């Protein structure tokens, strides 16, 4: 489909269909002399646009527009066809035509409203000095069994997507598909995410049509030296691509981002051989059992993060052939994650001293053995309300105070749990679901706060991130001398 018009969230062809349908309704109310030409022009534009859309892909959001057009078309066209020279054109009296026109306009207006509420996501342009490249890796840990299929003797396999600073691609280079390497993989993942969240598939129908701002296998940037490394674990049932806008912004600013799919946990993981692994995690209805399973899953994810950091070190040393060899600084690595992945990042940092910093995006810490850790930590949380688990803030504060470095908790007004993902770009703007920051502001705030922290902790840029962080919400600072 042709490019979506930002703000309207409709393609030029869809706009033509909309305008053609509106013009057919308006034609009834024009002077008799103008009516035939407007009707013929509007009908021609409408039919041709619908024909092209049916070939390139017709979105469900256009169905009410087509219904309104179909309803008005016979009443607009038949009087024109029946017109005889020297005889006045017939048209229904206004009090008969008005209700029909109102109904048609209502149907037609539903289309752009639906397109706005459930759009094809448009990803923000990264603001850094680099273009962004991406590629997908699949690695198997020979030292860990796959607990979900232990009876088969399988080893733990993870799928990892890398976003990295790249050279500018030639004009016309196709940006990467969102949610997968191919449109088919994107559709598989999108359907799985909708099922996992209990959402109607129509709400995310446009997501597999989206393209990102990164280019698959783009040449690595010549400048920038060695890139600090940021590992990311998604939320429960989440997928590696759920924070693509954030990953692209970091990569554009000189970081290597490695986001993980966790098989049997992520909603759908498509392996290189085409096999799709769906999640096996579901609520048991027993809070204690669900907490136990969540803690077990968090531990597996923490081990996945450490394994991927090891693999990135091997890649940098040339033990894994890759254009990024010699460009990664795994001595400056951060463990990050959203929701359950945020808890996994905290646990990975505590268990693996190779991580130099940790970011938890609205995740409940589930480490069964919380102990002091040396890394500075940043916890981003949604606005706290009556529905917030009363255990959340005390537990999170307890863990942050265990850090022997300065750590931060930033509560962002207007944020909801999914604000820290790509969801505000494509889900209906319901504040309780995606927050009230908006489609443009949500990714900007998440990127700005994490970059301020990472630039200080991994790049050791002068200054304190406190000033920047405090401009985005309610900031609590935990200093080592006050944590004991």
Least confident of 19-33, 92-106, 173-187, 454-468: 92-106
4 has pLDDT over 70: no
Q: Evaluate if residue 144 carries a pLDDT over 60.
A: yes
**What is the structure's pLDDT at 301?**
98
Which three-class secondary structure state does DSSP give residue 454? helix
Closest CA to 446 of 359, 355, 385, 356: 359
- The average pLDDT across 293-304 equals 96
Q: Does the pLDDT value for residue 159 go beyond 90?
A: yes
What pLDDT does residue 282 have? 81
Please give the Cα distance from 463 to 469 (Å, whole number).
12
Q: Look over the chain and give the mean of its residue pLDDT values, rounded to a whole number.
A: 91
Q: Are 120 and 426 in contact (CB under 8 A)?
A: yes
The whole-number average pLDDT for the span 17-25 is 91
User: Is residue 123 within 8 Å of 132, Cβ to Cβ?
Assistant: no
Considering 6-10, 97-101, 264-268, the range whose residues carry the highest mean pLDDT is 264-268
Q: Is the pLDDT of residue 1 over 90?
A: no
pLDDT, average across residues 356-379: 96
- Lowest mean per-residue pLDDT among 54-63, 226-235, 376-385: 54-63
Assess whether pLDDT exceeds 60 at residue 16.
Answer: yes
Q: Determine contact, residues 19/48, Cβ cutoff 8 Å.
A: no
Kindly indicate the confidence band of residue 3, based on its pLDDT and cuts at 50, 70 and 90: low
Residues whose CB falls within 8 Å of the CB of residue 327, separated by 6 or more in sequence, listed in order: 164, 220, 224, 226, 227, 256, 316
- How open is the CA angle 433-434-436, to the nearest 5 degrees? 110
Whole-number pLDDT of residue 447: 98
pLDDT of residue 348: 98
Residues sharing a CB contact under 8 Å with residue 128, sequence separation 6 or more, in sequence order:
165, 249, 251, 252, 253, 254
- Which of 134, 138, 163, 158 lies closest to 272 in space, CA to CA? 138
In the DSSP assignment, the letter for residue 175 is P
Would you give the DSSP letter of residue 448? H
pLDDT of residue 80: 64
Q: Between the ranges 59-63, 168-172, 302-306, where is the mean pLDDT highest?
A: 302-306
Quick one: residue 241, left, alpha or beta (phi over 0 = left, psi -120 to 50 = alpha)? alpha
For 125, the token pair is 């342009």
DSSP 8-state code for residue 432: H
Confidence class for position 169, pLDDT limits 50, 70, 90: confident
CATH architecture of 131-482: 3-Layer(aba) Sandwich (3.40)
The residues of the chain that CATH labels 3.40.50.1820 are 131-482
The 10 Å Cβ neighbour count of residue 375 is: 24
Tokens of 364: 């409940």
Reported confidence tier of residue 96, pLDDT bands at 50, 70, 90 = low
- pLDDT of residue 356 exceeding 70, the answer is yes
For residues 290-294, average pLDDT: 91
The pLDDT of residue 91: 56
If you search the block for the tokens 């917030």, which residue do you land on? Answer: 388
More confident residue, 91 or 224: 224
Rounded to an integer, the average pLDDT of 426-455 is 96
pTM, entire model: 0.91
The pLDDT assigned to 227 comes to 98
Return the pLDDT at 2. 45
DSSP one-letter code for 473: S
Mean pLDDT, range 34-40, rounded to an integer: 83
Render pLDDT for 381-402 as a digit per residue (tens, 0 to 9): 998 888 889 999 999 999 999 9
Pairing of strands 377-381, 407-411: parallel
Average the pLDDT over each of 92-106, 255-269, 337-351 and give the range with the smallest value.
Answer: 92-106
- Least confident window among 1-15, 54-68, 404-418: 1-15
Output the CA torsion 241→247→252→256 (10° steps): -100
Q: Which residue has the higher pLDDT, 1 or 378?
A: 378
pLDDT average, residue stretch 205-228: 95
């Amino acid at each position: 489909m042709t490019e979506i018009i930002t703000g309207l969230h409709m393609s030029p062809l869809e706009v033509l269909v909309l305008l053609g349908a509106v013009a057919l309704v308006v034609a009834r109310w024009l002077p008799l002399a103008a009516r035939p030409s407007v009707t013929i022009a509007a009908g021609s534009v409408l039919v041709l646009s619908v024909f092209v859309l049916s070939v390139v892909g017709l979105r469900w959001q256009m169905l009410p527009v087509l219904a309104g057009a179909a309803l008005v078309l016979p009443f607009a066209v038949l009087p024109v066809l029946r017109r005889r020279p020297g005889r006045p054109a017939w048209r229904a009296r206004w009090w008969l035509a008005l209700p029909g026109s109102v109904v048609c306009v209502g149907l037609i207006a539903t289309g752009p409203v639906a397109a706005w509420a459930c759009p094809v996501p448009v990803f923000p342009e990264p603001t850094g000095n680099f273009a962004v490249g991406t590629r997908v890796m699949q690695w198997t840990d020979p030292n860990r069994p796959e607990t979900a299929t232990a009876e088969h003797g399988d080893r733990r396999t993870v799928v990892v997507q890398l976003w990295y600073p790249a050279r500018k691609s030639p004009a016309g280079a196709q940006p990467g598909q969102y949610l997968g390497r191919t449109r088919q993989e994107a559709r598989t993942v999108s359907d799985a995410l909708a099922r996992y969240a209990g959402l109607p598939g129509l709400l995310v129908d446009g997501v597999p049509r989206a393209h990102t701002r990164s280019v698959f296998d783009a040449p690595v940037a010549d400048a920038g030296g060695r890139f600090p490394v940021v590992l990311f674990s998604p939320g429960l049932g989440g997928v590696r691509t759920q924070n693509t806008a954030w990953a692209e912004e970091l990569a554009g600013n000189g970081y290597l981002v490695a986001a993980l799919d966790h098989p049997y946990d992520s909603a759908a993981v498509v392996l290189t051989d085409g096999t799709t692994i769906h999640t096996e995690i579901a609520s048991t209805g027993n809070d204690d059992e669900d907490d136990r399973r969540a803690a077990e899953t968090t531990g597996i994810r923490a081990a996945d993060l450490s394994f991927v950091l090891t693999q990135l070190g091997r890649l940098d040393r040339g033990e894994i052939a890759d254009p990024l060899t010699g460009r990664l600084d795994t001595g400056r690595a951060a463990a990050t994650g959203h929701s359950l992945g945020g808890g996994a990042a905290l646990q990975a940092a505590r268990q693996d001293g190779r991580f130099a910093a940790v970011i938890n995006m609205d995740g409940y810490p589930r480490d069964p053995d919380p102990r002091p850790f040396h890394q500075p930590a940043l916890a981003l949380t949604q606005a706290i309300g009556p529905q917030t688990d009363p255990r959340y803030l005390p537990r999170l504060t307890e863990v942050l105070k265990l850090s022997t470095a300065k750590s931060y908790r930033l509560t962002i007004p207007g944020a909801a749990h999914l604000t820290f993902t790509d969801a505000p770009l494509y889900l209906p703007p319901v504040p309780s679901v995606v927050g009230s920051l908006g489609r443009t502001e949500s990714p900007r705030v998440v990127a700005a706060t994490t970059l301020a922290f990472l630039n200080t902790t991994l790049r050791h840029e002068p200054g304190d991130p406190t000033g920047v962080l405090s401009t985005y919400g309610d900031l609590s600072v935990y200093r080592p001398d006050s944590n004991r």
